Amino acid sequence: MEWYEALALLLGTIIFLMAIGMPVALAFLAANIIGAWVFMGGERGVAQLLNNGLGALTKYALVPIPLFLLMGEIFFHTGLGGRMFNAIDKLLGRLPGRLSYVTVLGGTAFSTLSGSSMGSTALLGSLMVPEMSRRGYQSHMSIGPILGTGGLAIIIPPSALAVLLATLAQIDVAALLIAGVVPGLILASFYIATIWLQTRMNPDAAPAYDVEPMSLGRKLGLLVTEVVPMVGVMVVIIVLMIRGFVTPSEAAAFGALGVLILAALFRCLTWESMRKSVVGALRVTLMAYLIVFGSATFSQLLAFSGASRGLVNWATSFDLAPLAMLGVMFAVLLLLGMFMEQISIMLLTVPIFFPLANTLGFDPIWFGLIMLLSLEISFTTPPFGLLLFVMKGVAPPGTTMREIYTSAFPFIGCSLLLVALLVAFPQLALWLPSL
Amino acid sequence: MIAVTRAYSALLYAMAVVAGATLVWLMVSVIVSVLMRNLGLQPFAWLFTSAEYGLLYMTMLGAPWLVREKGHVHIELVTAALPARLRRGLSRLVAAACVAVCVILTWKGADLFLTNIERGDYDVRAYYFPRWLLTIAFPLSFGLMAVEFARFVFGAELMHTGEAGIHE
Amino acid sequence: EDTLSAVHAFPETLIYTKSFLSFVDKVNAAGEGVVRIDVRGGPEAIGMFQQPDAVRDGIVDMVYTPGSFYAGVLPEKDALVASNLTAVETRENGGIALIDQVHQEKMGVKYLGWFDSGVCYNLWTRNEPTFDANGNLEVEGLKLRGNAVYNAFFTNYLGAQVIDLPTGEVYSALQRGVVDATGWTQIGLIDLKWNEFLNYRIEPCFFSTDLGVIINLDKWNSLSDESKKVLQDVAIQHEKDSVAALRAKRDEDFAALEAAGMKVVSLEGEAKANYLAAAREKTWERMKSVMAEQPGGTGNYDKLIELFYDLDAAK
Ligand code: NA
Ligand code: NA
């Protein structure tokens, strides 16, 4: 079978099954059964598929996600979240969309703690979305910024994905990590501008209620009693991580522990809130991990059948100008990113793209950062970006997939704008590492 | 019959409870191993390994319960656009396809489990762990998922709502 | 023309994978019109720990992987892990033939060749290592990263506090001081960039890499005699070539590390002998105990040790 036939068979199956409403995880499993039957020699291929799924799921790198979810759920169900957001509402006065800004700022800060966009989206989603919709924010004002900042986690150090990319591509790890700092901050500022535009264009997007004026002393009091403790938990964990007490993967467990301790101190920890938190975290984890189970094997089938390798080789076989070639590579990454898991994409494309980038005269650090950005974008690109499903899991009942898709678009636009900026001004990425 | 249904439901919820307990265990195992390391003790390697295996047990044991809860995300495009009668038909057809997928995976999962026992396969990480203890989760999980999806084929309740445009 | 599908355990950019790919090129050149190897990819095509089962079940015909990835089925791989010989001598003395026979019996796969042998492991540390009055390495206070391959040695003999970390997490763990020492092969440290944090290499080196090519036995038996001959001949040649190539690469890496400030400290005399003896004996103990539980028992144990370890060379 030619690579494009294999590609058409695998992608066609998955798109068809999802379109008729098969649960996403089951659609992956069904496509895997068909793919294993065709490419792995019949029924024994299906047993191999289960083995592969087992391998993909029992990885320590996946441990933080349920724990970040647990942290967010405890925060919400114990009422700590409500208290903190009440305080922020009062402190920020009448600024429209204030919690959306808080999301971006918090998400950017949180990116320095987390190296995983799924973990980041899980935490912010479970932390912010229920509370914001309770306060009358339209869903795109909460979902959009979270999907956006989720991706910051892999650009702003620490980032496990950046370390892996640098190792595979044999480029300077520290330089790639540092190169992400300035673009990450620029991206965060684009998000802020987007929120400002959205509240200007549609004043109903965020609740506009009056806040009673408050004395500076009362504001300070609120800040210290309601905001500082929670922010303190985050700060403590970041410090523990920098001091080498915990690795980035282990930080989530201490985050959850920190919120538990906080809830106990504030006397709002009950068995009922604990049960609800575990059930909430469990629901989203199960949904996401069965998709991981299916999609990891789907990635492997795309590679094993020669479909993705064929696509990459074909796309890079044209003799184009450097900029056009960059566009082609970017498009391939986005396309693969819609269906494949990020590490598999890197394993597959790095050996082909980096030598090519080298002959085209691209700076490898700069190119590595563009690659990370494309992976980040594809993680939130409809219809299959995994973060979208995680978001669906944490969003309040009744949130439609379309609402999630349309919320994501403006923030994907920001990332694309950043890529364009990086192409025009490579120094945005390269200046900091050169110091 | 009622006794069987009850016992089945009890199993389904018991599995979900184990999945929830596993999630809590993930947190405990990480915290204990970090504390041990920083106290200058050698963390038990099984803390690390049990967290990795826990991810599999959690996902597999909880998945059938999530089918009952309609928690596995799906996209309603076609089902929302169709007239009610066709939509109901398609919804039951999709559920039937899910049953087929789960039945195949139950069958091959049981195959894999028996092969692992017969060959005496081990999963080698920090310890030599009998592989069948892991793969037994597959026939159990997909078997129960098949039953749960079958309820959407034959039962009163449908998997898809199809309400008011695109909806989940 | 016979065609074999193949996958490799490690990413394409790793030195060991490049070695395997050059073997494939040699087979495809020498076997033109007779036999061809069709490489389907690395861990992105089949997960690295699932590859041994995949070749056993005939999903893929050929796999290039460390024996340690299927240690549960074939504890005899520890003979290679503990070896101080290379594929060249063990091909000559019948060691590889015995390993091939065990692979066929226990796993239903043909062991075609032991590639990239002659590379051993060192301990690498951030701070200057210290020694006790008898010249033994002091491991107290070392935050040592370990894994399943060397834990028998690190834990049971050195009594070290081993921290199990996946390879991908080691860089950031070193950066933050979660670990400050690790075992690793003589080559590859620069590729992983761990040399940014590690400053000392402790000699002597111990163990050996155990990378080999295995082929599904039914597939192997279905090949024409001509194909088998091409595969086997090229494999034996590559066993030799890869030893030489990796030795050259090791010297190159060592020189580069030294130029960048890596210091070498060595155990001496009795302490050195004890260190090496522990590395091999703890590993053999593990091999024996797992073999004892399997059909066939420990029948091959003494033979394996005789063929894969040169006691005189260790003195
Ligand atoms: Na980060
Ligand atoms: Na994706």
> Is B74 within 8 Å of chain A by CB?
yes
β-bridge pairing C144-146 and C181-185:
parallel
pLDDT in tens, C252-274: 999 999 999 999 999 999 999 98
Mean pLDDT of A136-150: 89
Q: According to the model, what pLDDT value does residue A361 have?
A: 92
Average pLDDT over residues A398-427: 91
The total of other beta-carbon atoms located within 10 Å of residue B10's CB is 10
Kindly state the average pLDDT of the residues C86-106. Answer: 96
3-state secondary structure of C200: strand
Exposure letters C53-71 (e unless 16+ CB within 10 A, then b): bbbbbbbbbbbbbbbbbbb
* CA distance to A19, A112, A382, B72, per residue, from A12 (Å): 11, 39, 16, 21
Question: Is residue C57 within 8 Å of residue C71, measured between CB atoms?
Answer: no
Residues of chain A positioned with their CB less than 8 A from the CB of B134: 54, 58
CB spacing of A44 vs C58 below 8 angstroms: yes
C314 or A106, higher pLDDT? A106
Tokens of C148: 């399943």
Give the residue-averaged pLDDT of A352-362: 92
Contact (Cβ atoms closer than 8 angstroms) between residue C276 and residue C64? no
Name the pLDDT band for A222 (thresholds 50, 70, 90): confident
Burial of A108 (0-12, 13-18, 19+ CB in 10 A): buried
Residue A96 — very low, low, confident or very high, per pLDDT cuts 50/70/90? confident
**CA trace torsion C299, C304, C307, C311 (10° rounding):** -110
Q: Which of A221-235, A251-265, A402-416 has the lowest mean pLDDT?
A: A221-235
Report which of residues A118 and C254 the model is more confident about: C254
What's the pLDDT tens digit per position in A233-276? 888 887 887 787 888 778 889 989 999 999 999 988 999 999 99
User: What residues of chain A lie within 8 A of the CB of C169, using their CB?
Assistant: 60-61, 160, 247, 249
The residue of chain A nearest to residue B68, with distances taken between CA atoms, is A283
| pLDDT tens by residue, A324-344 | 999 999 999 998 888 887 888
pLDDT of residue A251: 85
The answer to whether the CB atoms of B58 and A46 lie below 8 A apart is no
Q: What mean pLDDT is predicted for residues A348-355?
A: 90
Q: By mean pLDDT, which of A259-268, A383-392, B22-31, C61-70 is the weakest?
A: A383-392
The pLDDT value given to residue A351? 87
CB contact under 8 A, A63 and B38: no
More confident position, C265 or B121: C265
pLDDT in the model for residue A90: 81
Contacts of A244 in chain C (CB under 8 A): 176-178
Task: Tell me which of A1, A44, A48, A343 to substitute to probe the interface with C (most C C-beta atoms closer than 10 Å).
Answer: A48
State the number of CA atoms in the 13 A half-sphere of B116 facing the CB. 22
Note whether A259 and A74 are within 8 A (CB). yes
- Given C11, C50, C166, which is nearest A52 (Cβ)? C50
Q: Which of A109, A104, A191 is nearest to A411 (CA)?
A: A191
- Rounded Cα distance between A114 and A120, Å, is 6
pLDDT at B165: 37
Residue found under tokens 């591509």: A169
Residue of chain C nearest A175, judged by CA positions:
C193
Reported as a single tens digit per residue, the pLDDT across C269-291 is 999 998 999 889 989 998 999 99
Q: Do B124 and C290 touch (CB under 8 A)?
A: no
Task: Work out the average pLDDT over C36-57.
Answer: 93
Q: Report chain A's mean pLDDT, rounded to a whole number.
A: 88
Instruction: List, for residues A42-61, the tens digit of each pLDDT value.
Output: 888 899 899 999 998 998 88
CA of B72 vs chain C CAs: smallest distance (Å): 26
Asked if C156 reaches chain B (Cβ–Cβ under 8 Å), the answer is no
In the predicted structure, residue B162 carries a pLDDT above the cut 70: no
Amino acid letter, A164: L
pLDDT tens-digit series, residues A80-93 = 887 887 788 788 77
Q: Give phi and psi for A321, each to the nearest 5.
A: -65, 155
Q: Which one of B12, B13, B15, B27 makes the best mutation probe of the A interface by having the most chain A beta carbons within 10 Å?
A: B27
pLDDT given for residue C167 in this prediction:
76
pLDDT of residue B167: 38
Q: C58 and chain A: CB distance < 8 Å anywhere?
A: yes
Q: Is C314 in CB contact (< 8 Å) with chain B? A: no
The Cα of B23 is separated from the nearest Cα of chain A by a number of Å equal to 7
Chains contacting chain C through 3 or more C-beta pairs under 8 A? A, B
pLDDT single digits (tens) B47-85? 888 999 999 999 999 999 999 998 888 887 777 778 888
Query: Between chains, do A24 and B74 touch, taking CB under 8 Å as contact?
Result: yes
Note whether B40 contacts C164, CB cutoff 8 Å: no
**Distance in Å, CA A338 to ligand 2 centroid:** 4
Is C71 in CB contact (< 8 Å) with chain B?
yes
* C44–A343 CB contact, under 8 Å: yes
**Average pLDDT of span A128-141:** 87
Find the mean pLDDT for residues C76-100.
Answer: 96
Q: Lowest-confidence range among A99-113, A164-178, C243-257? A: A99-113
The pLDDT score that the predictor gives to residue B168 is 37
- Continuous H helices in chain C: 15-30, 51-56, 77-81, 87-92, 95-107, 151-153, 167-176, 189-192, 217-222, 225-259, 269-292, 301-308, 311-314
Q: What's residue C161's pLDDT?
A: 65
Which pLDDT score is estimated for B82?
Answer: 83
User: Does residue B166 carry a pLDDT above 60?
Assistant: no
Which run of H or E residues covers position C125? Answer: strand C121-125
Q: Which residues of C touch B40 (CB under 8 A)?
A: 161
Model pLDDT for residues C214-237, shown as the tens digit of each residue: 999 999 999 999 999 999 999 999
State residue C315's pLDDT score: 61
Q: What is the mean pLDDT of residues C145-157?
A: 75
Report the share of chain B in percent with pLDDT over 70: 96
Sequence letter at residue C165 = L
Nearest chain A Cα distance for residue C256, angstroms: 15
For residue A337, give the ligand nearest its CA: 2
